[in-house]
Amino acid sequence: MSAATPLRALPLDILRERTSTKWRRYPHDVLPLFVAETDFPLAPPIARALARAVEIGDTGYTPPEPGIAAAYAGFARRRFGSEIDPSRVRTTCDVMMGVVEILRLVIEPGDRVIVTTPVYPPFFDCIPEAGGVVERVPLTDAGAGWELDLLGVEAALAGGARAVLLCNPHNPTGTVHSRESLAALADLAADYGASVISDEIHAPLIHPGVTFTPFLDASATAAQVGYSVTSASKAFNLAGLKCALMVTATDETAALVRTLPVEVEWRTGLFGAIAAVAAFSEESDEWLDSLLATLDENRRLLADLLAEHVPRAKYRVPDAGFLAWVDLTDLGWGENPAVKVLRDAKVALHLGPQFGDEGSGHVRINFGCSPDVLREAVTRMGTLASS
């Protein structure tokens, strides 16, 4: 099989016609590399499916069986070697809504829920929304990368925490947790009667040489204690269309998720369902492979650019996704360096402290863009660093 041809990003003048957050949050003189939107054209099968829906006025209610479960089961088999029973899949509006609804099933009000910081900022909001209390167990810096602090997780569970909200692959570090660490996490959850909810929205974006293990596949125990929530929205840039999947692996966990009110499923957007079916189809695999080829080049390009222009920055090339976790502490730009970068370099990066205390001095950079945009953004940062 030949290597995929890298996907070209849309030109800036076209991108600035978009009305999404990435392109309307800041003035046109700012390069936006903050929110997790990408700059590429839609996968052709998705564009065709949506265009046809508009053409025939297919804008009504989402049907009970839009075909997403079967489409995702095929996708998971092709991309991860994972076997999913479509009858154990339900849909909802977005991943965080799915997380909240499952948390409400597995915890009681006031229960503590473990998060492995630095982590996706909405985790800190969705746990209280579900009635829980956030308990931080930071990732361990293992030198070459980050790992789950299993001893810290065990201490939190022994102290009464009732669930773990996992990010796999991890946002913002791009870490892909090993099968062994996921299985060990599952064993701990089982020992203490806790549940694991795994946000796997970045799973389609695994880089070459890295193996992704869905949490539910890590072990038989993981299947028993776990729930997975995912979506096509990150890989295929569909966040505005509102569709996510809640996946289970046993009769018991599936039965629990089926107790959720039908309204939870009604929140699935019809265009989100149509787009997800097209995204998860085999027809979209070629586009996804091209996207991954581009992101693989960009994650390495970012390393070279930072070494050249901002040599005091610390960056580890991520295992997955299009988000880079960069430590700018040594530049002396304060605990929230993205503020200075925006003000003085006109580059919008995600605010590190929003990911937890471990984000002090850090920024998150979205490299899901053209190499030229990435080069210009880092060059601006370099000019700021040398001034």
What CATH number does the domain containing 289 carry? 3.90.1150.10
**Over the chain, what is the mean pLDDT?**
97
* Residue 143 bridge partners (DSSP): none
What's the average model confidence in pLDDT over 199-208?
98
In the three-class reduction of DSSP (H, G, I as helix; E, B as strand; rest coil), residue 233 is classed as: helix
In the three-class reduction of DSSP (H, G, I as helix; E, B as strand; rest coil), residue 300 is classed as: helix
Residue pointed to by tokens 């190499």: 371
Give me the phi and psi of 115, to 5 degrees please: -125, 145
Which residue blocks in 11-149 are alpha helix, DSSP H?
12-15, 21-24, 44-55, 68-80, 95-106, 123-129
Q: Are residues 167 and 272 in the same domain?
A: yes
Alpha-carbon distance 377 to 169, whole Å?
26
Q: Tell me the CA distances in angstroms from 230 to 83, 93, 319, one per residue in order.
A: 15, 11, 18
For 202, the token pair is: 């970045």
Percent share of the chain, pLDDT over 70: 99
Alpha-carbon distance 98 to 104, whole Å?
10
Parallel/antiparallel/unpaired status of strands 244-247 and 226-230: antiparallel
Domains contained in the chain, number: 2
What's the average model confidence in pLDDT over 306-327?
98
pLDDT tens digit sequence for 76-91:
999 999 999 999 999 9
pLDDT at position 143 is: 87
pLDDT at position 70 is: 98
User: Does 131 have pLDDT greater than 70?
Assistant: yes
User: Does 1 have pLDDT greater than 50?
Assistant: no
pLDDT tens digit sequence for 2-52:
589 999 999 999 999 999 999 999 999 999 999 999 999 999 999 999 999
Q: Is residue 3 part of a domain?
A: no
Task: Tally the C-alpha atoms within 13 A of residue 26's C-alpha that lie toward its C-beta.
Answer: 16
What is the tally of helices (H) and strands (E) in the chain? 16, 14
Give me the phi and psi of 183, to 5 degrees please: -65, -40
Q: Are residues 173 and 73 in the same domain?
A: yes
Q: Are residues 124 and 250 in the same domain?
A: yes
Single-letter amino acid, residue 114: I
Q: Are residues 55 and 179 in the same domain?
A: yes
User: Does 118 have pLDDT greater than 60?
Assistant: yes
Q: Is residue 155 part of a domain?
A: yes
Alpha-carbon distance 336 to 359, whole Å?
8
User: What's CA 288's distance to the chain center, in Å?
Assistant: 16
Parallel/antiparallel/unpaired status of strands 31-33 and 347-351: parallel
What's the average model confidence in pLDDT over 209-235?
98
Res. 387 pLDDT band, cuts 50 70 90 = confident
Query: Which of 235, 252, 283 is the endpoint of a domain?
Result: 283
Q: Are residues 202 and 253 in the same domain?
A: yes
pLDDT at position 164 is: 98
DSSP classification of residue 353: G
Alpha-carbon distance 329 to 312, whole Å?
8
CB within 8 Å of 345: residues ≥ 6 apart = 380, 381, 383, 384
Q: For 72-83, b where at least 16 C-beta lie within 10 A, e where not — what string?
A: bbebbeebbebe
Query: Which of 283, 298, 327 is the endpoint of a domain?
Result: 283
Q: Are residues 36 and 167 in the same domain?
A: no
Query: Which of 223, 256, 283 is the endpoint of a domain?
Result: 283
* Residue 348 bridge partners (DSSP): 32
Q: Is residue 2 part of a domain?
A: no
Question: Which CATH number is 271's domain given?
Answer: 3.40.640.10
Q: Are residues 55 and 194 in the same domain?
A: yes
Q: Is residue 5 part of a domain?
A: no
Q: Are residues 35 and 63 in the same domain?
A: no
pLDDT at position 386 is: 85
pLDDT at position 269 is: 97
Q: Are residues 111 and 223 in the same domain?
A: yes
Q: What is the pTM of this model?
A: 0.97
Q: Are residues 52 and 24 in the same domain?
A: no
Domain of residue 134 covers 47-283
User: Does 329 have pLDDT greater than 70?
Assistant: yes
* Residue 246 bridge partners (DSSP): 90, 229
